[in-house]
Chains A and B, each alone.
Chain A
């Protein structure tokens, strides 16, 4: 039986993998697997298996962390569900507003209104989530949030230094050979056909 903690971790990993695959490569050729993997990840996050019952063999697997019981599972599911609602409605809202505004075409008031409706739903879902109020009225939680950002900035700096070091120690490729006559003729012909010959 798959324990819900393991499934949640695997699903989150799949979502990160899908996002990375989706953003890599040229804009006209993104990975075809990103969408299906993201869907599997989302489904895995939402449809978590039940906690084993006390007479099942896996019941005592939850030995290390204190929250992986039924209450923990319910709380986790609640946060994930409301967060997904907030994020997805905000994304749909922003996309619709941009489509309905005068950036790409004429302003479409109906599309714009639908976009603002979705953004409103996102704000409503945030208002329905009690943990935001708890967090923003407690100084210690605000301090954690700020420290978390410092941690992210510090880690990104460390990783950027590691990448810079890797680039420095990577042996450089030798200079490429200049074009030969045949290649020069081909390139010239391609440029002439694309730009025209000045006539």
Chain B
């Protein structure tokens, strides 16, 4: 059984986080392209590219163990990458929420101008 030890803050783990981010974004992008398919899109090249960028690291990790890969293993690795990606995004939440709270403070104290269109032009 392969363990994923990211506890050593070496250059490898920093590179691994970048690869996890790449796989995560490409996975989401591929799903987005598939579910929003319409006749006016030309999604073939972006879809193939994002699938290659997404599946490449997964396949490499799956082959790393014994040179063999299976669909179940790929699913487990896909879960690992996506859950790590979501986990890191969740870790950013306090910072995002602090920013949102600051915006809400401004919104709560805001007084509407007499003419919003003029204000928009001036800003």
Q: What is the interface of chain A, defined by CB distance below 8 A to chain B? A: 5-6, 8-9, 12-13, 16-17, 20-21, 24, 61-66, 68, 76, 79, 83, 86-87, 90, 93-94, 97-98, 100-103, 112, 115-116, 119, 122-123, 126, 131-132, 135-136, 139-141, 143-145, 147-152, 154-156, 158-159, 162-163, 165-167, 169-170
B100 → chain A closest CB, angstroms: 6
**Chain B interface, DSSP helix/strand/loop, else mixed:** helix
**A16 and B53 form a contact (CB under 8 A):** no
**A97 and B76 form a contact (CB under 8 A):** no
**Chain A interface, DSSP helix/strand/loop, else mixed:** helix
Question: Using a CB-CB cutoff of 8 Å, which residues 1-39 of chain B contact chain A?
Answer: 1-4, 6-9, 13-15, 17-22, 24-29, 31-32, 34-36
Q: What is the interface of chain B, defined by CB distance below 8 A to chain A? A: 1-4, 6-9, 13-15, 17-22, 24-29, 31-32, 34-36, 42, 44-46, 49-50, 53, 62, 65, 72-73, 75-80, 82-83, 85-94, 97, 100-101, 104, 107-108, 110-112
**B107 and A101 form a contact (CB under 8 A):** yes
Distance of A61 Cα from B104 Cα, bound (Å)? 47
Distance of A12 Cα from B111 Cα, bound (Å)? 40
**B42 and A166 form a contact (CB under 8 A):** yes
Given contacts A6-B79, A151-B20, 8 further A-B contacts (CB under 8 A): A5-B75, A8-B83, A9-B82, A116-B108, A122-B97, A136-B94, A152-B25, A154-B18
B92 → chain A closest CB, angstroms: 6
Contact of B76 among A5, A12, A165 (CB under 8 A): A5
Which residues from A are CB-within-8-Å of B22? 151, 154-155, 158
**A63 and B97 form a contact (CB under 8 A):** no
